[in-house]
């Protein structure tokens, strides 16, 4: 058959595309359960890391179920959304991705550590090359940070990617999100510099844009929870 | 299995005198992007080797049926399919590695070495030599990546595969990690140095001015 024939070319292209589509769809279908499980476990590991717990892939799920006592959605006004409670991966709090859609409410995870209740909030923002996100664990006074963990999709290894290290996340421990009852967030500044109007941590040298991204993420993502955190603080007093 | 001289040349040539990076200067983009740490460089080398080998085999088997006018598109579809498969498998079974490589697995599609080998070799040779050619070129690409990743991680972060190598006492004595090593231009300079050494050893590769 003439290989330069138009009909042959079109048929060849169509059949090839169909075969490839079927092959890819089949692979995706057969692997997607395992992939979703990986994604969920990864999310649990991140939440646990914000509590200073490094859980391996195998123990993440049991550890998560042991520590996370409750999770639910809250409105921007700081009130719990009716019927959103539940700690299963299919429940609204775990299934909601604030980077995609937070219209139903903002997720809050409650953990119990040494008899204290710790509130874990998800964060989502932009780095240099792509999305960055993280979890921040806050004491029941609504202001003191218990721990924080950051992740990224494709920040430069050795530079922006350093936000995912415990050295960076660990700096947030004990910092305060509120000063004089106003939400100030925590600033990420160039190493060696300082700010006086709020708590701050050192950014990454050579990772300026990513550091600024973390700064903006804290301000915006945690800022959405401002009312919820103030309610916590008021309940404490 | 004994290899004839020709197949040996196909497999081993790309490691040295026909190296895709330092002689043909292809695939530079990813060589700069993934080499600031050793581990992503290693995984990238393996992934590229697998994809080059198998896309070579597939195109070589199809070579007598592909319509000439759309051959680049056919090659692209084959490469993109393989890369998607690799990425799906990594996501299911090596989730952490996949997370580290992030976008670079997808970017294998745009690696010039792949298209170069498909055009230059697989379209004119049988599946078995094409497979060896793919492996050879993948490894030829890979060892340069590993060398650069090694130097950059050691001098830039003082670690190898994430483990600290440079002793604490060095830092206390005033030693500092070289931040320039973390930046892409330094990888280009390192490739230049490797090309320089390589050409000084292989006079026949030197261009006459």
What is the DSSP track for B37-49?
SHHHHHHHHHHHH
State percent of chain B over pLDDT 90: 22
How many C-beta atoms lie closer than 10 Å to residue A141's C-beta?
15
Nearest CA in chain B to A11: B67
Distance between CA A224 and CA B127 in Å, rounded? 58
**B63 at A interface, C-beta within 8 A:** no
Contact by Cβ (8 Å): B58, B117: no
**Each residue's pLDDT tens digit, A56-100:** 888 888 899 889 888 999 988 888 888 888 888 888 888 888 878
What pLDDT score was predicted for residue B36? Answer: 80
Question: What secondary structure does DSSP assign to A109-154, as a single string?
Answer: EEEEETTEEEEEEEEEEE-SSSEEEEEEEE-TTSSBEEEEEEEESS
Contact by Cβ (8 Å): A74, A80: yes
What pLDDT score was predicted for residue B209? Answer: 62
Q: Do B74 and A28 touch (CB under 8 A)?
A: no
What is the H or E stretch that residue A234 is in?
helix A226-236
Contact by Cβ (8 Å): A87, A62: no
Chain B residues within an 8 Å CB radius of A206: 179, 182-183
Chain B residues within an 8 Å CB radius of A17: 77
**Each residue's pLDDT tens digit, B12-38:** 888 888 888 888 888 787 788 788 888
Q: Which of A131, A149, A158 to mutate against chain B (most B CBs within 10 Å)?
A: A158
Q: How far is CA A36 from CA A32, A132, B92, B164, in A?
A: 6, 20, 8, 34
ipTM: 0.71
Contact by Cβ (8 Å): A51, A111: yes
Q: Do B70 and A28 touch (CB under 8 A)?
A: no
Distance from CA of B190 to the nearest CA of A (A): 17
Nearest CA in chain A to B154: A158
What pLDDT score was predicted for residue A237? Answer: 65
Question: What secondary structure does DSSP assign to A28-88, as a single string?
Answer: HHHHHHHHHHHHHHHHHHHHHHTTT----TTTHHHHHHHHEEEEEEE-TTSPBPTT----S
Q: Which residues of chain A fall short of a pLDDT of 50?
A: none
Chain B residues within an 8 Å CB radius of A27: 84-85, 88-89
Overall average pLDDT of the B97-117 stretch: 78
Domain segments of chain A as ranges: 47-236
Contact by Cβ (8 Å): A136, A117: no
Distance from CA of B3 to the nearest CA of A (A): 34
According to DSSP, residue B207 is labeled P
Q: Which of B91, B94, B123 to mutate against chain A (most A CBs within 10 Å)?
A: B91
Show which residues on chain A lie within 8 Å of chain B, measured between beta carbons.
Answer: 3-5, 8-9, 12-13, 16-17, 20, 23-24, 27-28, 31, 34-35, 38-39, 41-42, 57, 129-130, 153-154, 156-159, 205-206
Question: Is residue B1 over pLDDT 60?
Answer: no
Q: What angle do CA B189, B194, B195 make, to 5 degrees?
A: 95
What pLDDT score was predicted for residue A17? Answer: 92
How many C-beta atoms lie closer than 10 Å to residue B204's C-beta?
6
- Decide: helix, strand or coil at residue B164: strand
What pLDDT score was predicted for residue A134? Answer: 94
Give the pLDDT band (50/70/90) at residue B2: low
Question: Is residue B96 over pLDDT 80?
Answer: no
Distance between CA B122 and CA B117 in Å, rounded? 7
Q: Which of A157, A167, A191, A206 to mutate against chain B (most B CBs within 10 Å)?
A: A157
**B149 at A interface, C-beta within 8 A:** no
**B176 at A interface, C-beta within 8 A:** no
How many C-beta atoms lie closer than 10 Å to residue B181's C-beta?
21
Give the pLDDT band (50/70/90) at residue B97: confident
Chain B residues within an 8 Å CB radius of A167: none
Q: Do B77 and A153 touch (CB under 8 A)?
A: no
**B55 at A interface, C-beta within 8 A:** no
Overall average pLDDT of the B123-138 stretch: 91
Query: What contacts B1, CB < 8 A, 6 or more positions away?
Result: none
What pLDDT score was predicted for residue A118? Answer: 92
How many C-beta atoms lie closer than 10 Å to residue A180's C-beta?
6
Overall average pLDDT of the B129-150 stretch: 91
How many C-beta atoms lie closer than 10 Å to residue B193's C-beta?
12
Nearest CA in chain B to A5: B67
Report residue A98 CA to chain centroid gap: 8
Overall average pLDDT of the B185-206 stretch: 87
Question: Is residue B207 over pLDDT 80?
Answer: no
What pLDDT score was predicted for residue A138? Answer: 93
Distance between CA A234 and CA A78 in Å, rounded? 12
Distance between CA A117 and CA A68 in Å, rounded? 10
Give the pLDDT band (50/70/90) at residue B177: confident
Question: Is residue B208 over pLDDT 60?
Answer: yes
Q: How far is CA B32 from CA A173, B26, B35, B187, B189, in A?
A: 36, 12, 6, 5, 10
Chain B residues within an 8 Å CB radius of A208: none
- Decide: helix, strand or coil at residue A179: strand
Q: Do B103 and A154 touch (CB under 8 A)?
A: yes
Burial A50-64 (b: 16+ CB within 10 A, else e): bbbbebeeeebbebb
Nearest CA in chain B to A40: B95
- Token readout for A169 is 């996340």
What pLDDT score was predicted for residue A126? Answer: 93
């Amino acid at each position: 058959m003439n290989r330069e024939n138009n009909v042959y070319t079109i048929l060849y292209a169509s059949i090839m595309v169909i075969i490839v589509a079927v092959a890819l769809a089949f692979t995706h279908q057969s692997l997607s359960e395992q992939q979703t499980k990986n994604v969920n476990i990864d999310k649990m590991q991140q939440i646990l890391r914000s509590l200073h717990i490094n859980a391996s892939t195998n123990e993440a799920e049991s550890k998560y179920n042991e520590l996370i006592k409750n999770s639910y959605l809250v409105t921007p006004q700081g009130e719990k959304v009716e019927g959103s409670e539940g700690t299963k991966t299919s429940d609204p709090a775990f299934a909601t991705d604030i980077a995609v859609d937070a219209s139903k409410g903002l997720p809050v995870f409650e953990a119990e550590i040494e008899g204290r209740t710790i509130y874990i909030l998800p964060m989502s923002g932009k780095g240099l090359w792509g999305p960055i996100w993280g979890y921040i664990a806050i004491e029941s006074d609504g202001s003191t940070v218990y721990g924080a963990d950051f992740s990224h999709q494709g920040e430069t290894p050795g530079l922006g990617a350093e936000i995912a290290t415990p050295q960076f996340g660990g700096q947030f421990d004990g910092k305060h999100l509120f000063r004089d009852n106003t939400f100030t967030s925590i600033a990420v500044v160039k190493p060696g510099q300082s700010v006086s109007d709020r708590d701050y941590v050192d950014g990454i040298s050579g990772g300026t844009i990513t550091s600024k991204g973390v700064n903006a993420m804290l301000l915006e993502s945690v800022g959405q929870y401002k009312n919820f955190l103030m309610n916590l603080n008021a309940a404490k007093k | 299995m004994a290899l004839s001289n020709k197949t040996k040349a196909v497999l081993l040539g790309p490691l040295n005198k026909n190296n895709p990076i330092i002689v043909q200067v292809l695939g530079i983009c990813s060589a700069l992007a993934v080499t600031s740490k050793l581990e992503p460089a290693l995984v990238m080398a393996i992934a590229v080797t697998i994809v080059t080998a198998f896309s070579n085999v597939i195109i070589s088997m199809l070579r007598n049926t592909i319509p000439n006018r759309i051959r680049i598109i056919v090659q692209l579809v084959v490469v993109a399919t393989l890369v998607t498969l690799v990425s799906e498998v990594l996501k299911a079974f090596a989730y952490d590695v996949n997370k580290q490589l992030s976008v670079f697995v997808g970017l294998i599609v745009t690696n010039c070495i792949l298209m170069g080998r498909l055009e230059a070799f697989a379209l004119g040779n049988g599946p078995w030599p094409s497979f060896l050619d793919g492996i050879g070129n993948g490894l030829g690409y890979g060892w340069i990546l590993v060398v650069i990743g090694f130097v950059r991680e050691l001098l830039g972060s003082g670690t190898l595969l994430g483990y600290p190598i440079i002793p604490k006492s060095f830092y206390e004595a005033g030693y500092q990690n070289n931040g320039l090593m973390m930046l892409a231009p330094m990888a280009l300079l390192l490739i230049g140095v490797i090309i320089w050494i390589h050409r000084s050893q292989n006079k026949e590769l030197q261009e006459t001015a």
